[in-house]
């Protein structure tokens, strides 16, 4: 889906949610912790020779936050920008341009909420990462295995060793940063909120000789729909 499509989808989902709000931001929320998940669309705006340059992507994140005051909060976020095309290993295509790895991040963030509105401004800083060489392991754990374990009535752990998953052999890491602007609407008597967030992230990676990659600048923009539980 093109970025414009993600914008329309987010608006279609969030506007009805705002109409269902049970109370205004003026009532506030007494719970200092929140857990949030987000999903949406992204565009990798890096310039060549950066991998994944110019590709549309899926954006996803999970976060744990703590409200210091009604206006200020802080927390940890783990997220990723996952290209919708290309291949995730540098040697998997006919040319280096086919290489399109996922970029993940583990960032600490600070967040400011403006008064009684749902407007949120956030800045994050931490480690950005991408994998350029990996292998398939039949004994590695995958999300499919996790679902099978939760849904199966059998003694899964004793007779199943995992359907397999990709394991990273070599990765690039760099310090990264992000800024975002979002708006949340309270739902379910302020025990949850839902909103949209526009985020820009950046990291400058050193060269990876094993992957024949010079140093490059990673740049990506995402628009995501978020659900926060307080």
Query: May I ask the CATH architecture of the domain 3-18+30-229?
Result: Beta Barrel (2.40)
Mean pLDDT score of the chain, rounded to an integer?
82
Task: Identify the weakest region by mean pLDDT among 10-24, 96-110, 159-173.
Answer: 10-24
What phi-psi label fits residue 39: left (phi over 0), alpha (psi between -120 and 50 degrees) or beta? Answer: beta
| Predicted confidence (pLDDT) per residue in 32-70, tens digit | 999 999 999 999 999 988 999 999 999 999 999 999 998
Q: Residues 204-224: what's their mean pLDDT?
A: 91
pLDDT score recorded for residue 25: 40
DSSP the chain: --HHHHHHHHHHHHHHHHHT-SS-GGG-----EEEEEEEEEEEE-PPTTSTTTT-EEEEEEEEEEEESSSSEEEEEEEEEEEESSSBSSTTSSSSGGGB---EEEEEEEEEEE-TTSSEEEEEEEEEEEEEEEEEEETTS--HHHHHHHHH--S-HHHH-----EEEEEEEEEEEEEEEEEEEEEEETTTTEEEEEEEEEEEEEEPPBGGGTB--EEEEEEEEEEEEEE-
Task: Identify the weakest region by mean pLDDT among 161-165, 193-197, 216-220.
Answer: 161-165
Distance CA 42, CA 81 (A): 7
Tokens of 209: 């000789």
Residues 98, 46, 38: CA angle, nearest 5 degrees: 95
Evaluate whether 128 touches 201 at the Cβ level (below 8 Å). yes
Q: How confident is the model at residue 2 (pLDDT cuts 50, 70, 90)?
A: very low
pLDDT score recorded for residue 26: 37
| Predicted confidence (pLDDT) per residue in 166-189, tens digit | 788 889 999 999 999 999 998 877
pLDDT score recorded for residue 78: 97
pLDDT score recorded for residue 21: 39
User: How many C-beta atoms surround the C-beta of residue 82 within 10 A?
Assistant: 17
pLDDT score recorded for residue 49: 85
- The pTM for the full model equals 0.78
pLDDT score recorded for residue 189: 74
pLDDT score recorded for residue 90: 79
Distance CA 49, CA 53 (A): 7
Q: How confident is the model at residue 144 (pLDDT cuts 50, 70, 90)?
A: low
């Amino acid at each position: 889906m093109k970025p414009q499509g993600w914008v329309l989808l987010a608006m279609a989902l969030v506007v009805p949610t705002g109409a269902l709000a049970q109370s205004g931001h003026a009532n506030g929320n007494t719970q200092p912790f929140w857990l949030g998940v987000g999903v949406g669309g992204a565009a990798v705006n890096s310039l060549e020779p950066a991998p994944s340059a110019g590709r549309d992507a899926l954006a996803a994140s999970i976060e744990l936050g703590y409200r210091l005051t009604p206006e200020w909060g802080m927390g940890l976020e783990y997220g990723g920008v996952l290209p919708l095309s290309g291949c995730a290993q540098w040697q998997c295509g006919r040319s280096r341009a086919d290489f399109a790895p996922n970029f993940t991040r583990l960032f600490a963030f600070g967040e400011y909420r403006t008064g009684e509105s749902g407007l949120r401004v956030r800045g994050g800083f931490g480690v950005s990462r991408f994998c350029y060489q990996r292998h398939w392991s039949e004994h590695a754990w995958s999300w499919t295995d996790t679902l099978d374990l939760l849904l199966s009535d059998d003694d899964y752990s004793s007779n199943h060793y995992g359907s397999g998953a990709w394991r990273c052999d070599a990765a690039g890491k760099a310090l990264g940063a992000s800024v975002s602007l979002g708006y949340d609407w309270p739902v379910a008597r302020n025990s949850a909120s839902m909103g949209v967030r526009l985020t820009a992230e950046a990291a400058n990676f050193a060269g990876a000789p094993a992957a024949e990659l010079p140093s490059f600048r990673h740049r990506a923009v995402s628009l995501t729909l978020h659900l926060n539980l307080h």
